[in-house]
A and B are shown apart, each in its own frame.
Chain A
Amino acid sequence: MTQSTCRLQAVREYLGLPLDDVARHTGIGVYRLTRIEALEEEPTAVELKAISAIYKFSPAYLMGAEDAPAAPVRIRSRATTKLHPKDEEELMLFTQFLTAAGASD
């Protein structure tokens, strides 16, 4: 696991999840989760599976071992002006999330 590729904290923050919510639903303590996100401890396979079940992204993606799921973007934009790059990025991220969620069902 390297600092540049582990996505646990980034995905949790993107989904707007407080640490204590994740802790309550995974059974992993807040302190342990914090240490895992800070790359100070390695998650077990069971812990990673529990986190992945909530975040919807695969364990491999969360740990930076694979890229985001291929997201077929088909959006018809009615924006009167060109989309802001930040909004484009948000649409791409949400599309990736939904694709991952669909694949995880």
Chain B
Amino acid sequence: MSTPTASTINLVEELLLKNTLEIPEDLEQHLIKLRHMTVEKPLIYVGNGTCGQVAGSIKILKEIENYLHENNIDAEVIETGCIGMCWAEPLIDIQLPGRSRLSYKHVSQENVTEILDATFNSTFEPKYILGQFKNEFTEPWEGISFVEDIPFYKNQTRRILKYCGKINPYSLDEYIANGGFSSLSDTLLTKTPAQVRDLVIKSGLRGRGGGGYLTGKKWETAALSQGDQKYLICNADESDPGAFMDRAIIEGNPHLLIEGMALAAYATGTSKSYIYIRSSYELAVKRLVKAIDDCKEAGLLGHNILNSGFNFSIQLATSAGAFVCGEETALINSIEGKRGIPRPRPPYPTQRGLFNKPTVVNNVETLSNVPMIIGEGVDAFRSVGTKESPGTKVFSLSGKTEKSGLIEVPMGYTLKDIIFKISGGIKHNKSFKAAQIGGPSGSCLVEENLETPIDYESLSRIDAIMGSGGLVVADEDTCMVDLSKFFIGFLKDASCGKCIPCREGTHRMLEILEDITRKPRDANHKTLDRFKGVMQLEELGKVISETSLCGLGQTAPKPVLSALKYFRQEFEEHIYERKCSANVCRELRTYEIDPEACTGCTLCMVKCPEKAIIGAVKHPHFIVESKCTGCGICLEVCKFDAVKLK
């Protein structure tokens, strides 16, 4: 890991302060080395983002270090962030001097020795090869395909994620060598805040946290608000289940966010900022703290940045865990040390926010787009995406796709291409059923929407939202009623409790869904009651979305109502036939015993916790449906395969 040294100071002076495109030869060579385009000794990258760690990268890291020590090998080891190919993790990349960087997948404590043996014999271990990275300065390996050609990678447009998983997130030098902070230096030396705002407005950048609000417009309002102190808050709370884009951006390239924030602060006249980040994102926090400290030492944060007179500081505020704190005003209350409860608006945060001062709240991905807009220009930014939704979007793809992980695609890309071009289709050859976009606040997209472009307008037309980037794909084995129940259960727990429609409404909706996914408690509970309940979902949904105080409540009915719209039949099956065709709703599962196969051994009868099986020894047994709770123990214990799901 590098520390800001004479090297950094030199870079700051030669590259940033001079703000020129003409770079002397020796500096150019130095940059190439910093970017690891060429290396002097073997370099091992370990994919050590949080998802890599969960997959076991820490143990692999230890193995590598032991190996190098025991074999007296002089090699450099760098921890990187997440490259997005979570389906291939744990990942390690190895770059030998003069040769291209090789990427290995599914590395383990056990097989890493094999890989290292091959490496230090100047070759590679084909069993675990993922591919090699393109590099104009080195000799490619024969017979190995390029990582950049893997469909998962190739079909993306990686701008924000460009360096995630490739560079050392602890190295400020490497970031600068890759062009980092040049947008900031150019801005501070040649542009006014109004000009920066103008560029962002022209770029059409929209909030990537889910709101889709025009970022430039928000900045303009804040810049023009009266206040002796203004604040910038970066919302890194990311609590949507299945969303980890912001985490990956921070773990992979924390300096990008810092530069984006500095630009935003300059444009809006704020000198103090907070990054509100989930406390459970321990690794991201660690890397962010290092990045901020390094930037401070290098004079890129603090007073008089790059001799421009611009002052800007960043403070970290770790959230104590509440989904509702993703809402701007709740977030602000949380930073102020209060309960994370939303405030009535107006006044909007840009008028009166943190400590009652004008405040801009922006998402991590939104801010990370800004350096590119300033550095490469509006046209370059708008070269991908759609007219109303220019640029790219990072999605965290999970669920039943063959490959899952992080992807970045242009706005307007279709769901079909995401699933089938990039992610390799649905696992185990199952069929696609639905994709939940926008997490618990979003709707599901179904077969008929596969060709719908994913941009703010097109989604809005089909009553769906973009959300922050969580995309969960469900297959034919998913019960949509159960999934809706999951989402509304999540929201009911997340509700802050302030307003009646959200607090009580989400609970009632949950109870209605619980009612239709379990066995009736008493004989009097008729089908009609269940049906009435489902009708109420629609009425309640309308009132909840129209009267809730904040976005959580306003969007709470969406998952249920969209599931109801597209999968009404599935709901009706649950209500009238008491059946769950996907066999997910446990209490609706029933089993039956094949009288031909049953030998009457009584094992299932003995093991049944509900005493729902009757039968005499050596005679075929019978499951009493009304007592069966669908636990499946009989099926597990039967040695004769006589128990089947009905």
Q: Judge: A and B partners, yes or no.
A: no
